[in-house]
């Protein structure tokens, strides 16, 4: 047999020609030239629920590589560690980036611990198999499963992806069923409720000793002592309020108590004996010897929104009126001066006279006939006819009178105000700087994708047109949008670092509040001022009996100029 002549080109050159110039993207590379990506994924942060952690998956995959002769560890050019569920498609940016790597020729081989780590839904599983068909994925290696690139092998891989989806769906259903079952039985579901701990045997909720008493005192401070959320948060912090999971646990965790935490926590119906998880709502007091921290009536006094809805069920004529109110002045801040019940705002069109049907009458009322003087007395303490409602104009008048007499401790109040402004600006500035950082990271990733697509366009134009037509334009548009977001965030951040308000600005601010509160047509602006200025107030028969202002305004009021019961 005659020997072949010496060739200037070799088979690699021929493969390169057919791959790049004859639209033959299915040319297979020799084993030693295949570049691999190693993919590892866990679906939850709870390591105890994983078959293998990410480090274990990577270790076993590398060991599987060492046991083979057709691949060398140096051919692994990237390791992708993914943390998140694969149950639903389109929620995995790292997975999508990996597939993009196969489309652009960055990788030709894929290493993974098991098929269910790659995909647990049919769409992503189908994309993997399609890439194997198109030889974009030329080699696939699993640490726990021998894959064969054949019709039967791909069919079996598809079955494994499908069973992974079935397992994922069943796991979700079983977990939901378990949560609902625990809720119906009044048992612990993984959420610690401050003030309560869990019986390690029955999983029932128990009063957590001193912590339960501290929080109960906090409720009493809010309900009966008219303390602000800030004062309550200080009380809990000063007394070392903490939480623990199980009864008998010596280790406790201090609760990070803030005024916002107090406001949110005290609106949890759990403390009145109502266990709400998702759409399941259960009365714990009817299941076992659960000890509520407050009564239902006390809960309704704190959570005025729930109270208003319950009252609306008793008077259907008022429900429609409530729905028309987009903004409610002093929401959750107005209480009855006779019985301490929360009062809600109503408004109606004028029933008669020249303004009939035009101007709206705005007033506050409550429907809890709990021995309140509004419903039981005909004459008030000043000998005037008793009314069941209070007109909003009397309340606004009382607030304005307090603000007009904010003349004491001006310098100290200004210093407090500046401290608030600095803190607000610092928080806003951090938020804007975070936007800049996120925009920069997004732009960097988009530009990497842009460079990869441009390289593919030069190297294999037909494949680029077939699979990526229009993507460069979309990426350019997204980069432009991110640059706009970055510029806006940088501009806002720079503005926040400018000059602080002067004492004259602070004085003018109080004057502007007075002007806004005296404009009954601008309810939105009034609402914003009331949120900043008023902590809570108590009203009697068309007059305000007590007003508690927020800092720093509370320290500025000259009480010698405030008459008892301004109206």
- Domain assignments of the chain as residue spans, ordered by start: 11-171, 196-301, 426-498
Query: How many residues belong to the chain?
Result: 567
Range 307-342 burial, b when 16+ CB lie within 10 A, else e: bbeebbeeeeebeebbeebeebbbbbbbbbbbbebb
Question: In this model, does residue 257 exceed pLDDT 80?
Answer: yes
Whole-number Å distance between alpha carbons of 119 and 123: 9
- CATH top-level class of 11-171: alpha beta
Nearest to 544 by CA among 401, 404, 403: 401
CA distances from 557 to 226, 383, 505, 560 (A): 18, 29, 19, 9
- Quick one: pLDDT band at residue 37, thresholds 50, 70, 90? very high
- In this predicted model, what pLDDT tens digit does every residue of 173-189 receive, in sequence order? 555 555 676 778 888 87
Comparison of pLDDT for 313 and 500, the residue scoring more: 500
Same CATH topology for 11-171 and 196-301: the answer is: no
Contact 314, 367 (CB under 8 A): yes
Region of 323 on the Ramachandran plot (φ > 0 left; ψ -120 to 50 alpha; else beta) = alpha
**pLDDT higher for 41 or 90?**
41
pLDDT for residue 246 is more than 60: yes
* Band of pLDDT at residue 357, cut at 50, 70 and 90: low
Look at 22-31, 77-86, 300-309, 423-432 and tell me which has the smallest mean pLDDT.
Answer: 22-31
Token readout for 548 is 């508690």
- Alpha-carbon gap, residue 254 to 261, rounded angstroms: 13
Task: Identify the pLDDT of residue 43.
Answer: 67
CB 345 within 8 A of CB 381: no
196-301 fold = Hect, E3 ligase catalytic domain fold (3.90.1750)
Cα–Cα distance measured from residue 411 to residue 20, given in angstroms and rounded to the nearest whole number: 77
105-157 per-position pLDDT tens digit: 889 999 998 888 888 777 888 888 888 888 889 998 988 878 888 887 788 78
Distance of alpha carbon 6 from its chain centroid, rounded? 69
Strands 139-142 and 109-112: parallel
At residue 169, the pLDDT reads 54
Q: State pLDDT tens for residues 499-511.
A: 788 889 888 888 8
- CA distance linking residue 514 with residue 352, whole number of Å: 31
């Amino acid at each position: 047999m005659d020997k072949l002549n010496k060739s200037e080109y070799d088979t690699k050159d021929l493969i390169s020609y057919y791959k790049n110039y004859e639209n033959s993207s299915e040319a297979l590379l020799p084993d030693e030239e295949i570049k691999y990506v190693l993919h590892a994924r866990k679906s939850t942060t709870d390591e105890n629920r994983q078959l293998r952690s990410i480090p274990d998956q990577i270790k076993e995959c590398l060991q599987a590589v060492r046991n083979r002769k057709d691949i060398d560890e140096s051919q692994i050019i990237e390791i992708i560690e993914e943390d998140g569920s694969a149950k639903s498609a389109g929620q995995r940016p790292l997975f999508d980036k990996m597939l993009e790597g196969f489309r652009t020729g960055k990788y030709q081989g894929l290493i993974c611990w098991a098929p269910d780590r790659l995909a647990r839904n049919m769409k992503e599983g189908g994309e993997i198999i399609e890439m194997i068909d198109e030889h974009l994925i030329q080699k696939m290696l699993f640490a726990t499963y021998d894959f064969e690139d054949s019709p039967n092998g791909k069919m079996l891989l598809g079955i494994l992806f499908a069973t992974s989806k079935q397992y994922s769906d069943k796991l979700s259903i079983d977990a939901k069923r378990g949560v609902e079952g625990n809720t119906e039985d009044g048992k612990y579901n993984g959420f610690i409720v401050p003030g309560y701990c869990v019986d390690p045997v029955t999983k029932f909720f128990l009063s957590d000793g001193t912590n339960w008493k501290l929080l109960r005192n906090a409720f009493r401070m809010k309900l009966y002592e008219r303390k602000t959320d800030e004062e309550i948060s200080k009380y809990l912090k000063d007394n070392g309020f903490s939480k623990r999971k199980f009864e008998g646990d010596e280790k406790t965790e201090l609760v990070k108590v803030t005024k916002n935490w107090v406001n949110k926590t005290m609106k949890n119906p759990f403390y009145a004996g109502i266990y709400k998880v998702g759409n399941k709502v259960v009365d714990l007091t009817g299941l076992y010897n659960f000890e509520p921290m407050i009564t239902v009536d006390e809960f309704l006094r704190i959570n005025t929104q729930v109270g208003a809805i319950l009252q609306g069920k008793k008077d259907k004529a008022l429900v429609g009126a409530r729905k028309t109110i987009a903004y409610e002045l002093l929401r959750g801040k107005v209480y009855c001066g006779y019985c301490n019940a929360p009062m809600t705002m109503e408004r109606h069109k004028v029933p008669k006279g020249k303004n009939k049907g035009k101007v709206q009458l705005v007033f506050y009322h409550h429907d809890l006939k709990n021995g309140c003087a509004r419903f039981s007395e005909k004459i008030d303490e000043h000998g005037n006819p008793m009314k069941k409602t209070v007109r909003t104009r009397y309340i606004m008048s009382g607030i304005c009178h307090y603000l007009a007499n904010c003349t004491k401790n001006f310098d100290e109040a200004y210093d407090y105000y500046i401290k608030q402004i600095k803190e607000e600006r610092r928080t806003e500035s951090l938020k804007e700087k975070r936007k800049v950082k996120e925009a920069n990271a997004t732009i960097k990733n988009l530009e990497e994708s842009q460079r990869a697509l441009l390289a593919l366009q030069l190297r294999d134009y037909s494949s680029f047109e077939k699979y990526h037509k229009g993507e460069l334009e979309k990426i350019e548009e997204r980069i432009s949008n991110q640059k706009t977001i970055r510029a806006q965030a940088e501009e806002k951040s720079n503005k926040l670092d400018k000059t602080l308000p002067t004492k004259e600005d602070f004085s003018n601010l109080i004057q502007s509040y007075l002007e806004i509160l005296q404009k009954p047509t601008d309810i939105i602006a009034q609402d914003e001022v009331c949120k900043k200025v008023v902590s809570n107030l108590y009203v009697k028969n068309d007059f305000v009996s007590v007003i508690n202002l927020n800092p720093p305004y509370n320290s500025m009021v000259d009480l010698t100029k405030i008459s008892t019961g301004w109206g």
